[in-house]
Amino acid sequence: MTRKKPSTGEIYHLYNRGVEKRNIFLTDSDYFRFIHDLFEFNDREAVLNLTYHIKNAREVGTMPLTPRKIERQPRKLLVELMSFCLMPNHFHLLVRQKVDNGISLFMQKLGTGYTVYFNKIYKRVGSLFQGTYKTKLVKDESHLLHLPYYIHTNPLDLVMPEWREKEIKDYKRAFRFLESYRWSSFPDYIGKRNFPSVTQRNFLLQMSGNEENYKREFAAWLKNMNLESLEPFTLEPIIEVKPQ
As a whole number of angstroms, the distance between CA 14 and CA 79 comes to: 12
pLDDT given for residue 53 in this prediction: 42
As a whole number of angstroms, the distance between CA 147 and CA 210 comes to: 18
- DSSP letter, residue 114: H
- DSSP letter, residue 126: S
pLDDT tens, the chain, 244 aa long: 466 789 999 999 999 999 988 999 999 999 999 999 999 999 998 776 544 444 444 444 444 444 444 556 788 999 999 999 999 999 999 999 999 999 999 999 999 999 999 999 999 999 999 989 999 999 888 788 889 999 999 999 999 999 988 889 899 999 999 999 999 999 999 999 999 999 999 999 999 889 999 999 999 999 888 776 666 555 444 445 444 3
- DSSP letter, residue 46: P
- CA diameter of the chain: 51
Please name which of 225, 220, 233, 237 lies closest in space to residue 83, comparing C-alpha atoms.
Answer: 233
The CA-based angle 44-47-48, given to 5 degrees, is 130
The CA-based angle 182-184-186, given to 5 degrees, is 100
Q: What is the CA radius of gyration of the chain?
A: 17
pLDDT given for residue 232 in this prediction: 56
pLDDT given for residue 235 in this prediction: 41
pLDDT given for residue 126 in this prediction: 94
Task: Kindly report the length of the chain.
Answer: 244
pLDDT given for residue 41 in this prediction: 96
- DSSP letter, residue 20: G
pLDDT given for residue 46 in this prediction: 77
As a whole number of angstroms, the distance between CA 238 and CA 90 comes to: 7
pLDDT given for residue 55 in this prediction: 45
Burial grade of 170 (CB within 10 A; 0-12, 13-18, 19 or more): exposed
CA-to-CA dists, residue 124 to 54, 90, 119, angstroms = 22, 19, 5
| Per-residue 3-state assignment (H helix, E strand, C coil) for 185-198 | CHHHHCCCCCCCCC
Q: Is the dihedral angle over the CA atoms 221, 39, 74, 63 positive or is it negative?
A: positive
Is 74 in a helix, a strand, or coil? coil
- DSSP letter, residue 34: H
Cis peptide before 161 (omega within 30 of 0): no
Is 87 in a helix, a strand, or coil? strand
Is 212 in a helix, a strand, or coil? helix
pLDDT given for residue 58 in this prediction: 43
Residues of the chain with CATH 3.30.70.1290: 11-136
Helix count and strand count (H, E) for the chain: 9, 4
Please name which of 113, 128, 124, 118 lies closest in space to residue 37, comparing C-alpha atoms.
Answer: 113
Assigned CATH for 11-136: 3.30.70.1290
